[in-house]
């Protein structure tokens, strides 16, 4: 049986960053990463791949090149966590025991939670940067006009801004390719506003207005008919039973029954429903009931598990009320590392505290970006240094350069090496 001081489940952004930082601080730690994938992807660039302005191959590297020196790589799937006896089960490597556990397996796509979506993906009538950004680009180039619908599910998702980023890029691409006048660009979201942080929402509302994008808040997708190319939404505005279809109705919406709205589409991009991996949902380390059911039960500031003090979690799988992004992990990792090392060396948790920082580089067109940075309670939290030079609430070319060149460089060379 294998035993380690620290076992990390997941070799994605969170797992590798934490492992690298721990090793930099204390070379003597015995550590293992449990991760089945051969390849590691820089997913934030998939938005740009979907718009034809980044090569998919450049987002892919070998996982082996990023496992920190001195850390064992157990190339396997974790299948269960048994916190009572400090062990995890794996698919083929048997049981592994730990003194401390860091849970960071990310989240998984669950298309089956939206009826009709698996069939629609199979038939190729919908596209998603979350699963195949190269296909999104293929479909954009073939599009000849009609209803271009962009939407997202009611579940938590990676990078909440991604479903609208591709919409801004697509809208600009439609202008370039000469089909914009024959196109309705529709952004339908279960959310109440375009963006939760008022300073950034103001800019985005102006963009939507200026570019004649049809914004549909309170639209929760409920099913897709892949043969007829129709998507159905439930109108979810609290206190309102009926749906309102505005006059003119140039997109051809239809009310079905009491509360469903049908829209035909010629192009549909969506974020699939997403969830914590099944072995996490089935484990007692996840929250068992309520709004955050299935996600890991951690203290939102210390990142320590609320019921099992030798377990920590970060990244997409943790139940934290902020956006699930790589930028969030960059601020979570040092907090977790400091608090975990303090426990190892003194039996008391450290005083490091995570304030909910996350950022959403909102690409609003080719060569334009708004850098939305915020913390818990949707409070703006812009970098004081960057803010000295640019107004990050406005569209900036410099921020586009940061997104396309600066952030990928920082990710591969600094963050995954435990230096940023």
Tokens of 368: 């334009």
Q: Which member of 317, 360, 363, 407 is catalytic?
A: 360
96, 109, 159, 208: the active-site residue: 159
Query: What is the model's pLDDT at position 241?
Result: 58
Read off the pLDDT of residues 248-289 as tens digits, 9 standing for 90 and up: 789 999 999 888 999 999 999 999 999 999 999 999 999 999
Question: Could you state, in order of their start, the residue ranges of all structural domains in the chain?
Answer: 2-107+276-355, 109-271
Number of other residues whose CB lies within 10 A of the CB of residue 75: 17
Q: Is 200 exposed, middle or buried (0-12, 13-18, 19+ CB in 10 A)?
A: buried
Intervals of the chain under pLDDT 50? none
CA distances to 5, 161, 262, 307 from 101, rounded to whole Å, are 8, 31, 47, 13
Beta bridge partners of 49: none
Joined tokens for residue 147: 């209803």
Contact 153, 114 (CB under 8 A): yes
Considering only CA atoms, which of 252, 213, 214, 257 is closest in space to residue 230?
252
The answer to whether 107 touches 153, Cβ cutoff 8 Å, is no
Collapsed DSSP state (helix, strand, coil) of residue 60: strand
- According to the model, what pLDDT value does residue 386 have? 84
- The topology (CATH level 3) of 109-271 is FAD/NAD(P)-binding domain (3.50.50)
Q: Is 127 a catalytic residue?
A: no
360 noted as active-site residue: yes
Question: What is 2-107+276-355's CATH superfamily?
Answer: FAD/NAD(P)-binding domain (3.50.50.60)
Do 2-107+276-355 and 109-271 have matching folds?
A: yes
User: Residues 94-144: pLDDT tens digits?
Assistant: 999 999 999 999 999 999 999 999 999 999 999 999 999 999 999 999 999
Global pTM reads 0.96
pLDDT value of position 387 = 86
pLDDT at 42: 98
């Amino acid at each position: 049986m294998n035993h380690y001081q620290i076992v990390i489940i997941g070799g994605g952004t969170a797992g590798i960053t934490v492992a690298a930082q721990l090793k930099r601080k204390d070379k003597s730690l015995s550590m293992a990463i449990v991760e089945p994938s051969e390849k590691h992807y820089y997913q934030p660039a998939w938005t740009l791949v979907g718009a034809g302005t980044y090569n998919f191959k450049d987002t892919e590297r070998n996982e082996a090149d990023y496992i920190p020196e001195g850390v064992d790589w157990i190339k396997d799937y974790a299948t269960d966590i048994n916190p009572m006896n400090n062990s995890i089960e794996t698919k083929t490597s048997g049981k592994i025991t730990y003194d401390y556990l860091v849970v960071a397996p990310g989240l998984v796509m669950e298309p089956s939670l939206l009826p009709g979506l698996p069939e629609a993906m199979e038939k190729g009538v919908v596209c998603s940067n979350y699963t195949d950004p190269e296909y999104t680009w293929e479909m954009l180039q073939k599009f000849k006009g009609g209803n271009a619908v962009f939407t997202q599910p009611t579940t938590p998702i990676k990078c909440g801004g991604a479903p609208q980023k591709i919409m801004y890029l697509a809208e600009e691409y439609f202008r370039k390719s000469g089909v914009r006048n024959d196109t309705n660009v529709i952004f339908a979201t279960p959310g109440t506003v375009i963006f939760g942080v008022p300073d950034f929402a103001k800019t985005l509302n102006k963009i939507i207005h200026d570019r004649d994008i049809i914004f549909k808040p309170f639209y929760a997708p409920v099913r897709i008919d892949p043969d007829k190319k129709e998507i159905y939404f439930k109108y979810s505005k609290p206190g309102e039973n009926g749906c309102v279809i505005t006059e003119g109705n140039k997109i051809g919406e239809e009310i079905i029954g009491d509360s469903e709205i049908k829209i035909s589409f010629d192009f549909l991009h969506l974020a699939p429903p997403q969830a914590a991996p099944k072995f996490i949902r089935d484990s007692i380390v996840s929250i068992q009931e309520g709004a955050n059911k299935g996600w890991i039960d951690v203290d939102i500031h210390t990142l320590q598990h609320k019921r099992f003090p030798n377990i920590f979690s970060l990244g997409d799988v943790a139940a934290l009320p902020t956006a699930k992004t790589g930028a969030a992990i960059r601020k979570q990792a040092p907090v977790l590392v400091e608090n975990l090392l303090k426990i190892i060396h003194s039996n008391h948790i450290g005083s490091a505290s995570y304030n909910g920082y996350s950022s959403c580089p909102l690409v609003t067109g080719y060569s334009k970006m708004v850098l939305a940075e915020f913390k818990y309670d949707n409070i703006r939290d812009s970098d004081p240094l960057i803010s000295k030079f640019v107004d990050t609430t406005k569209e900036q070319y410099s921020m586009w350069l940061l997104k396309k060149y600066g952030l990928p460089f920082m990710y591969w060379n600094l963050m995954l090496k435990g230096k940023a």
